[in-house]
Amino acid sequence: MKKLVIFILVGLMMAPMADARRKKPKAGEVDGDVYTDNRFGFQLTIHEEWKERVNKDEDRVRLTLTKKNYGIPTDFLNAPDYTKIPRITVFVDTTSLGAHDFIDSLMSETYESDQKNDIIKEFEILQRTDIYDGEVVPRGRSRLEVDGESGLMWKGQVKYKQIVQTSASSVGGKLVRSSYGGAIGAVKHGDNIYLFHVMCEWPYVATVLAEVEMTIRSVKWTETADEG
């Protein structure tokens, strides 16, 4: 009996460890160049110039795409790690707002919510970092048509300045002043808002945004989305 009790206790202790080791389900699957989401009823085509990372199903960030080959500003040729690598963050959540009003809420200086705070943590163009030199300047809005739904693409620019160490032995480094360009695409489908964020070095923003828009416009609705 004593051995049985010990065996049961050990089993109870090991169960949480086994659960921790068990792989959590993914947000979606990639087949060839097509990502299909497991919960929110959409799929998109991954541009050949981007590589994917699929997040966990419990995350609102469903997918992250990173550009494979990207431009390096001349100021960073001797220190390429300072370059802002273009990444597309695909974020999905529920909302009662339409796409235009949702973008307005993100840009508002007075509107606050837990959801907005969660989005800001993921969307660099909305953050306030030590290297930003001033406020984000809006650079226009354009209409998006996504599989029968009307969406919106917001674009912005923010200046930055940072000290760049060009070598391990350099003292002080050099001051670089430049800008980042960013965009947030939004489309509402059912009760869900689908957001696409990107930020990159300003000299390359036109090329990057063209590929981002291509990715957003490739979205297809596959089924009724989970509202949970």
Give yes or no for residue 171 having a pLDDT over 50: yes
Give yes or no for residue 102 having a pLDDT over 50: yes
For 128-142, give one letter per residue: b (16+ CB within 10 A) or e.
eeeebeeebeeeeee
Query: What digits encode the pLDDT tens for the residues 122-154?
Result: 999 999 899 999 999 999 999 999 999 999 999
Averaged pLDDT, 40-49: 97
pLDDT band at 223 (very low <50, low <70, confident <90, very high): confident
Distance between CA atoms of residues 35 and 189, nearest Å = 18
- Domain-located, residue 11: no
Q: How many residues does the chain have?
A: 228
Domain count, the chain: 1
Computed over every residue of the chain, the mean pLDDT equals 90
pLDDT value of position 22: 67
pLDDT value of position 169: 64
Give yes or no for residue 8 having a pLDDT over 90: no
- Domain-located, residue 210: yes
- Domain-located, residue 147: yes
pLDDT band at 10 (very low <50, low <70, confident <90, very high): very low
- Domain-located, residue 2: no
Give yes or no for residue 220 having a pLDDT over 50: yes
- Domain-located, residue 18: no
pLDDT band at 5 (very low <50, low <70, confident <90, very high): very low
- Domain-located, residue 20: no
pLDDT band at 225 (very low <50, low <70, confident <90, very high): low
pLDDT value of position 4: 47
Identify the helix (H) or strand (E) that includes residue 107.
Answer: helix 99-107
- Domain-located, residue 81: yes
Q: Do 97 and 119 touch, CB atoms closer than 8 A?
A: no
Averaged pLDDT, 215-226: 85
Residue 46 belongs to domain with CATH number: 3.40.1000.10
Query: Greater confidence, 69 or 2?
Result: 69
pLDDT band at 166 (very low <50, low <70, confident <90, very high): confident
pLDDT value of position 173: 85
Give yes or no for residue 224 having a pLDDT over 90: no
Sign for the CA dihedral angle at 88, 228, 27, 43 comes to negative
Query: What digits encode the pLDDT tens for the residues 188-201?
Result: 999 999 999 999 99
Q: Which domain covers residue 188, as residue numbers?
A: 25-221
User: What percentage of residues in the chain have a pLDDT greater than 70?
Assistant: 86
Query: What digits encode the pLDDT tens for the residues 77-92?
Result: 999 999 999 999 999 9
Q: Do 38 and 25 touch, CB atoms closer than 8 A?
A: yes
- Domain-located, residue 228: no
